[in-house]
Amino acid sequence: MTDHDTRRSTSLGYRISRLSRLNSCLLDAWLEKHGLCSGQIPYIISTVEKEGQTQETLSTLISVCPAATARMLKNMEASELVIRKGNPNNRRQKLVYPTEKAKELYTVLIPLLDTHNHVMFNGFSHAERVQARTMLDRIYDNVHSKLKEVKNT
């Protein structure tokens, strides 16, 4: 076994990255019939649950860089999932609103995401689910703190 193989076989980050990609593939397979991709999920949910957010707020909320948010919103606007309107209080900002199409898809997404959670934690006890959630929250907090630190230097 090479150093690379040993590092990969013991790396938690590698496993998290693989799981993220695998989750995206599963969600994409489920969403294909709706004309969606997994990357659109947080935007649809965020815009439906709170209409009229700025692109910057969405970027922060979803933990995606502003450029990626702008690209995704452009594509979603072309697919008639969101509408961007100028902010009457700040002409430089665009506010993002869901379309009726996005609101309808939201009602499909929530049960689909519930199913996704059941798939991921199939066979886990309640205590194991709580433990996994707690550990993932701690990992998220560690990475989020480091990102803030890196951005401030």
Beta carbons of 98 and 106 less than 8 angstroms apart: yes
Dist. CA 50–CA 31, nearest whole Å: 22
pTM (2 decimals)?
A: 0.87
75-94 pLDDT, tens per residue?
Answer: 999 999 999 999 998 988 88
Domains and CATH numbers, the chain: 3-120 (1.10.10.10)
Question: Quick one: pLDDT band at residue 1, thresholds 50, 70, 90?
Answer: low
> For residue 86, what are the β-bridge partners?
94
31-60 pLDDT, tens per residue?
Answer: 999 999 999 999 999 999 999 999 999 999
Dist. CA 152–CA 6, nearest whole Å: 34
